Chains A and B, each alone.
Chain A
Amino acid sequence: MPEIDTISGPPAKIRLADVGIVFRPRDREPVVAVRDFTFDVPEGSIVTIVGPSGCGKSTILNIVSGLMPPSRCKVEVDGRPVTGIRHDVGYMFARDGMMPWRTAIENVAFGLEVRGIANRYEIAREWLRKVGLDRFEGHYRHELSQGMRQRVAVARTFAIEPNILLMDEPFGALDSQTRLLLQELFLDVWERNKRTVLFVTHDLHEAIFLSDVVIVSTNRPGRVKSMVPIALPRPRLPPAELAVVPEFRDIYARIWGDLKDEVRKFV
């Protein structure tokens, strides 16, 4: 069993206890995607899961959001079990998910609109400003670059003031330079309100740069292999500068050491 109380401090915002997920495809053997997955995400912190492809990382996010019921387990947010689709989560994918028929500001305002918030455009405009897109509020999806679309997604995600944030490789589809800028932007926005974030990525630099704790998952069926606290001071240095700090390199070496064997089994 992995040690859970390596994390001390604030109470658990999200708690997973012995979560197991089994896929039962028709006409085929059931696949155990995740087994005995146990961890906490403390209030106001960023916890990132890294692991080989197919280890069930995204599935864990789907379970926390209530999109998918777990096969066996206990999943709690704010001490209450997740029973159905939650409407208090901000969710980001690698794909931007922008509605092409709405302008940037209308996309950001969508979540507020369905909640019936009257001054939604003021709020949306403010968030577009925070992600540096104030001059693009009237632009449609096809008029924006990939990086801008993902910035709209960041604004849209934060605009509803979500209780928790679930991020499924949100910057995975961007070129490496844009990705660095977006990571920095994301952290900058996060610093202002410190929402609880559960993040999933392949990118170790990204994981270390953003997180308070990095969870290394094993190959399928995914289990918690190790939990690595990232004791780097916040606010963090920009990713490019942080990458050359000796502490960063030590942490990177340790996580990669844990992850390498799992990835190797998979390749």
Chain B
Amino acid sequence: MAASDTDALLIEAGAGVGVGSEPDRRRVIFARLAVLLVFLGLWQLVVAIGLVDAFWISTPALIVQELWHLLENGALVSDVAVTIYEALVAFVVSSALGIICGLLLARSPFWDDVLAPFVLALNSLPRVALAPLIILWFGIGVMAKVVTAFTLVFFILLVNTLGGAKNVDNDIITIARLMGASERDILWKVTFPSALPWIFTGLNLGLTYSLLGVIVAEILASNHGLGYLIAASAASFNTAGVFAGLITLAVVAWLFSLIMRKVEARLLRWKPSLTSA
């Protein structure tokens, strides 16, 4: 009785409004747009009725104008390109080195023990404080941005990879070894895939921090990039330019995390939580 009744109920419930959870999804997106529009409307309104001067907070309309202007003269595209380039180079280099060092440390308990306090100390230091020194050393080019981001991202990946690699199921290692796996096999076919969920947690964070490091360095000393755009606009009291830079930055960061989540879902499809989501 129970089974057929439930089926009938499900079909009835689904019939009126389409199938599955699709209608809910549409309502969510509609509500999101509504929230955004209300926010932008209020913003425009407080300036229109003279509550706040547009000099301080600009307006959505002015920002759109500014974005259009920056797109037309090509500044936005080249600034975005520079920032993305710097952030990606920093991300790839720092992540690769962080993962390799994490895996190496996991294999050597001695060096892990020796280096642990240094890693902790460096990891606890607010590394953006290093940016002035790094700019002093590397100038205002790409290198200073990459190095600033590296100081952030490298340790995130190192710590996460090490944590994951130490958490490998011992039964699996024992079985692999008895089946003839070499140390190299164990590293790449057991430790690495087993640590991958941890590594991905690090990569997600690392991508955000890579962008952060690059932007901070650009704001401090640069003549290209979104950080430069924001800093230069603020210096010339162009709040619309600052917001244009911030919005573009938000879009870039959002795209980064979107791509990251796609890659993660693909590579970690064996994880129960990810496949069901």
A contact residues vs B (CB 8 Å cutoff): 65, 67, 85-87, 89-91, 93, 95, 97-103, 110-111, 113-115, 140-142, 156, 160
Contacts and interface: CB of A to CB of B under 8 A. Distances in A.
Contact of B270 (A89, A111, A115, A140): A140
Given A65-B178, A95-B171, A142-B272, 18 more contacts: A86-B178, A87-B179, A91-B175, A97-B172, A97-B175, A98-B172, A99-B172, A101-B194, A101-B270, A110-B181, A110-B189, A114-B181, A114-B182, A115-B180, A141-B270, A156-B179, A160-B179, A160-B180
Contacts of A86: 178
Contact of A85 (B178, B193, B271): B178
A141 B179 CA distance: 19
Contact of B190 (A89, A98, A99, A111): A99
Contacts of A97: 169, 171-172, 174-175
A110 B178 contact: no
B29 to A, nearest CB: 31
B258 to A, nearest CB: 24
Contacts of A114: 176, 179-182, 185, 189
B2 to A, nearest CB: 23
Interface residues of B, number: 23
Contacts of B178: 65, 67, 85-87, 89-91
Contact of A102 (B196, B270, B271): B270
Contacts of A67: 174, 178
Contact of A91 (B174, B182, B275): B174
Contacts of B171: 93, 95, 97
- Chain A binding site: helix, strand, loop or mixed by DSSP? loop
Contacts, number: 62
6 contacts: A65-B178, A67-B174, A91-B178, A101-B193, A142-B271, A160-B179
A66 to B, nearest CB: 9
A226 B23 CA distance: 71
Contact of A110 (B169, B174, B176): B176
A172 to B, nearest CB: 14
Contacts of B69: none
B169 to A, nearest CB: 8
Contacts of A100: 270-271
B178 to A, nearest CB: 5
A110 B179 CA distance: 8
A141 B172 CA distance: 13
A85 B180 CA distance: 9
Contacts of A93: 171, 175
A71 B178 CA distance: 21
Of all A-B residue pairs in the complex, the 9 with the closest CB atoms, nearest first, are: A111-B179, A87-B180, A142-B272, A101-B193, A97-B171, A140-B270, A114-B181, A97-B175, A101-B270
Contacts of B176: 110, 114
A156 B275 CA distance: 25
B266 interface: no
Contacts of A87: 178-180
Nearest to A103: B270
A98 to B, nearest CB: 8
A89 B178 CA distance: 7
The CB with the most chain A CB atoms within 10 A, among B174, B182, B270, B275, is that of B270
Interface in B167-215: 169, 171-172, 174-182, 185, 189-190, 193-194, 196
Contacts of A111: 179-180
Nearest to A139: B270
A39 B169 CA distance: 32
Contacts of B174: 67, 91, 97
Given A91-B175, A93-B171, A114-B185, A99 B180 contact: no
B270 to A, nearest CB: 4
A262 B190 CA distance: 40
A103 B177 CA distance: 19
B263 to A, nearest CB: 15
Contacts of B189: 110, 113-114
